[in-house]
Amino acid sequence: MTPKSMVEAFKSKILTARQYLPERFQFIPIFLAGSAIMMLAVSIGAWIWARSEGLTDLDVSKLDIIVNYEHSDNSLVYDKSGKQIGEFFNDYHVYYPYTKIPPVLVHAVLSIEDRNFFEHHGLDYKAILRASLALLTSGHMKQGASTITQQVVRNFLLTPERKISRKLKEALYALQLEKQLSKERILEIYLNSLFLGQGSYGVGAAAQRHFGKTLEELNPGELALIAGLFQSPTRYNPHKYPNRAKKRQSMVLTAMKANGYLSPAEVKQWNESLLVYQAPASMNQSIAPFFLDAIQDQTDKLLDGKFKGKGLRITTTLDLSLQQELNTILQKSNSIYQSAAQNLVNVKKPKESMIEAASLVMNHRSGEVLAMIGGRDFQRSQFNRTMKAKRAPGSCFKPLVYSQALMSGVNWSDMTYIAPVVIQNYRPQNYSYEFMSEATYFNAFYRSINTPVVELGSRLGIKKIIETAVKMGVKTELKPQAGTLLGGSEMTMMDLAQIYGTIGNEGNRPEPFMISKITDRNGEVLFERKAPPVVRVLPKVVAYMMTGAMQAVFRYGTASKYPEFASYAAGKTGTTNEAKDNWFCGFTHDITALVWVGTDENYAFSGQVAGGTMALPIWAKMMDRIKDRYPQEPFEMPEGVIKKRIHPLFGFEDPNGIEMPLLDGRGPTRQQSTLTIVRDTGSYRDALDW
């Protein structure tokens, strides 16, 4: 048949069809024929144009990005008992597999976005026809014709530009994608990956960001609102445009009714139900922000930054309940901060907010960091003063010097003269300006007298003391100067925790850690901490004698306002020159706890500001909470140590003296003080002959 005869036959059939129609409908066959011819011409033209644009030979391998897509997911952080304390993410994702997505949400999305999703093969020709008719009758596009498959293709592979070439690529890729993935998988990718406002990607994240709930906790009205966000999450953002969002929700509910998913009564119920939007407070900044900041850094280092957005599950050492209690204590110590602010020196307008505080709690038996407060207000300053701030520890460094002295043969009952000392132009002062008197080293320690420490340190050698500090785990480089003996070299709070933790752990160095295990979201272990070998730094007897001296700090010394702690705790105050840094560091049988109070600007204080008035009261409140959660055992006296009552000043056995831990066989040999002989006989000669 020739083309001419084909046209004649087609024309004859149209004329025949018109005979059977009323006059007013006789235009229909001609209209349909014209439309068919036009569609054929457009199709041929589109095919010719597509070939010229290279669209008929698409690189199908690009679909591998979608086919092999791994869902992003937030990394969740847990405390030691499995309670969530934070999450890490670049973009906010909460992954839901298709089987766990509420059916109501699936129905809502399909009703408003792609009602024939499970019937078509990537393109919905009925929707295209509806959109075309709407365009012809109204003059502008009222309905979208893109399927969910097309939207996935556009989101992953194409730009949102409005060009025919992009639309054709989208359609062709959609047809190919449906050959490679199941409908459920395509829908799962769609529901988990698209942006839905407030920084959220996917329906699980949107539930959290818009309602502060999990997806399972949302009612049909709330799910309908989320379904309505796919078209334009910015335009329908319920936090900014609640009226627009409500209208869009109503459209979704109506569409669900039209598709048989909701009854008219249910549509009425959820249309009238109040929508309460709640942007969730950042968990990362409300519980243990400084700790979580450190965890993120450590995770990146442990995994070499390769697992971002992969849904890690990070188990840490934090004790959530303890952390929350200590947060409250630090926040409610305003009277201490106000008192300190009133004693600031050379500050024109002193403010209570200028005063900073930090605290660290560690189980020195296991090395677990149980609580960390790097500053009073994370939103004001993210600087972590427990790990990054280098401050002078003052007298809190003295236990290290005395530990070295005890290892070198010094006994607590040994007597020293409190006399001025000058070492290389360094002239230390005593806090009470006390000179020209006698004292045992035990007494000098709990009263925190400076000059005996410098005298001991110069005799032992500063180099040896620094070496012991390094063995204890101190990471900060200490200056080989006499001032270091009195805590003049700056160090971190974590360094101090190592010193006190070593003594509290019976001379074994603790290995502080914050992450115990990391898995991926499927449970595969990526990192698990193994207990390190035990490293002994101090003899057990020395650690115990040092502990006894720090218990005496509560009984008789600079912490004697809190004698109740002496039965189960040991500690030391620390105050630097001009009270710029104020410390209390202490431990119980299992727990090491440290508190610092000062200013970031290193301002000086006057008046009664000291470690015993600023840091110690906070430490005492914290320890009351710690002992409730970690019942304290007494310190066990090892073999080789005995206790004797010794005169605190003159170092001889005295039934009315104070109890000191001494090495067995190394008790005092003196029976009375030299000054006592002079006083009783009135003769210096008798003292010399004694």
- Express each pLDDT in 322-336 by its tens digit: 999 999 999 999 999
At residue 684 the predicted structure's pLDDT band, cuts being 50, 70 and 90, is very low
Which tokens is 605 given?
């204080």
Answer yes or no: do 51 and 98 share one domain.
no
User: 171: number of CA atoms within 13 Å, CB side?
Assistant: 15
Task: Give mean pLDDT, residues 564-577.
Answer: 95
What is the per-residue pLDDT for 47? 44
Which structural domain range is residue 42 located in? 3-57
Answer yes or no: do 242 and 128 share one domain.
yes
245 lies in some domain:
yes
* Residue-wise pLDDT tens digits, 634-657: 999 999 999 999 999 889 999 999
601 lies in some domain:
no
Question: Residue 223 sits in a domain of what CATH number?
Answer: 1.10.3810.10
Answer yes or no: do 42 and 135 share one domain.
no
Task: Report how many domains make up the chain.
Answer: 3
**Arithmetic mean of pLDDT over the chain:** 86
**592 vs 652, which has greater pLDDT?**
592
65 lies in some domain:
no
Which of 580, 573, 616, 559 shows the shortest CA–CA distance to 355? 580
What is the per-residue pLDDT for 546? 98
Answer yes or no: do 133 and 263 share one domain.
yes
What is the per-residue pLDDT for 40? 45
What is the per-residue pLDDT for 45? 45
* Residue-wise pLDDT tens digits, 186-221: 999 999 999 999 889 999 999 999 999 999 999 999
Answer yes or no: do 149 and 213 share one domain.
yes
For 120-134, 251-265, 388-402, which range has the lowest pLDDT when averaged over its residues?
120-134
55 pLDDT higher than 80: no
106 lies in some domain:
yes
DSSP annotation string for 97-166: -GGGS-HHHHHHHHHHH-TTTTTSSS--HHHHHHHHHHHHHHSS--S----HHHHHHHHHH------HHH
What is the per-residue pLDDT for 689? 46
Asked if residue 418 lies in contact with residue 649, where contact means CB atoms within 8 angstroms, the answer is no
Percent of the chain with pLDDT over 70: 83
At residue 631 the predicted structure's pLDDT band, cuts being 50, 70 and 90, is confident
**149 vs 2, which has greater pLDDT?**
149
141 pLDDT higher than 90: no
Strands 200-201 and 437-440: unpaired
Task: Give mean pLDDT, residues 509-517.
Answer: 97
Answer yes or no: do 258 and 172 share one domain.
yes
52 pLDDT higher than 50: no
- Cα separation of 14 and 29, whole Å? 6
What is the per-residue pLDDT for 307? 73
The crossing angle, in degrees rounded to 10, of helices 398-407 and 540-555 is 140
- Cα separation of 498 and 640, whole Å? 25
What is the per-residue pLDDT for 433? 45
Answer yes or no: do 96 and 207 share one domain.
yes
Task: Give mean pLDDT, residues 352-364.
Answer: 97
Among residues 248, 272, 296, which one ends one of the domains? Answer: 272
Answer yes or no: do 227 and 106 share one domain.
yes
561 lies in some domain:
no
Residues 6+ apart with CB under 8 A from 371: 288, 291, 318, 319, 322, 323, 326, 359, 360, 361
Task: Give mean pLDDT, residues 30-53.
Answer: 48
Answer yes or no: do 151 and 28 share one domain.
no
166 lies in some domain:
yes
* Residue-wise pLDDT tens digits, 428-466: 555 554 544 788 999 999 999 988 998 899 899 999 999
Among residues 228, 246, 272, which one ends one of the domains? Answer: 272
DSSP state of 273: S
Task: Give mean pLDDT, residues 340-358.
Answer: 94
Which of 334, 392, 378 shows the shortest CA–CA distance to 614? 334
Task: Give mean pLDDT, residues 368-391.
Answer: 96
Answer yes or no: do 265 and 122 share one domain.
yes
What is the per-residue pLDDT for 675? 59
Q: Give a three-class secondary structure readout of 486-525.
A: HCCCCECHHHHHHHHHHHHCCCECCCCECEEEEECCCCCE
416 pLDDT higher than 90: no
For 55-64, 228-237, 524-533, which range has the lowest pLDDT when averaged over its residues?
55-64
Answer yes or no: do 218 and 266 share one domain.
yes
Task: Give mean pLDDT, residues 38-51.
Answer: 45
Phi, psi dihedrals of residue 664, rounded to the nearest 5°: -60, 130
Asked if residue 662 lies in contact with residue 411, where contact means CB atoms within 8 angstroms, the answer is yes
Answer yes or no: do 52 and 137 share one domain.
no
Which of 254, 109, 279 shows the shortest CA–CA distance to 191? 109
627 lies in some domain:
no
524 lies in some domain:
no
Task: Give mean pLDDT, residues 179-183.
Answer: 94
CA 480 to chain centre: 36
